[in-house]
Amino acid sequence: MYIIAGLGNPGSKYEKTRHNMGFDVIDELVEEYNVPGSGVKFDAMYGKGRIGSEKVILVKPLSFMNLSGGPIRAMVDYFKIDPESELIVVYDDIDLEPGQLRIRKKGSAGGHNGMKDIIQKLGTQNFTRVKVGVGAKPKGWDLADYVLGRFSGEERKHIDEAIVRASKAVAMIVEEGPDAAMNEYNRKE
């Protein structure tokens, strides 16, 4: 069984922002694999379903981005999964061009506060992550304003395609393992 957690901020004012890439990918997975909602537990929305023959739990923490670790830790403990082999976290990355994907089996938070909290709460940085590029902050912009902003029309097209590709990458991780997905998706389009 896998827990697939997408990071974002709850509430309509944050929908379709750069920082909500994880939520957008979870929404795509819910639609693609017809995963019914199971409700709210441990300050997270979740649904149980299958990708291929694997059981999955899709999770959207409702704690706001910078406190994502608590709900994810609680879900990992409750469902008794090993985060180092059965957790996938999907989130935005400003170091990647809009729409570019990067899959890693471990690593630091890279300055992402949601990931910092998850690593701290889990006590490990050895878990699979799918990063979706949102582009670098323009010179002179405040980082928070940038990541909480929306994409331009041209960027949105690339991002919508990236959301679909990221959901396919997650499915490949679940069905074939992270190495197969890294070989397929860790390249510039």
Question: How many other C-beta atoms are found inside a 10 Å radius of the C-beta of residue 168?
Answer: 17
Tell me the DSSP string of 9-23.
Answer: --SGGGTTBGGGHHH
Distances (CA, A) of 145 to 3, 31, 32, 52: 30, 30, 31, 39
Token reading at 7: 């990071």
Torsion sign over Cα 77, 83, 85, 89: positive
- Which one of the listed residues 5, 9, 19, 73 is annotated catalytic? 19
Concerning whether 19 is annotated as a catalytic residue, the answer is yes
The residue ranges of DSSP E strands in the chain, in sequence order, are 2-6, 37-41, 44-51, 54-61, 87-93, 101-104, 128-133
**Cα angle 185-187-189, degrees, rounded to a multiple of 5:** 95
Distances (CA, A) of 86 to 4, 80, 98, 129: 8, 10, 27, 11
| Active site positions, annotated | 19
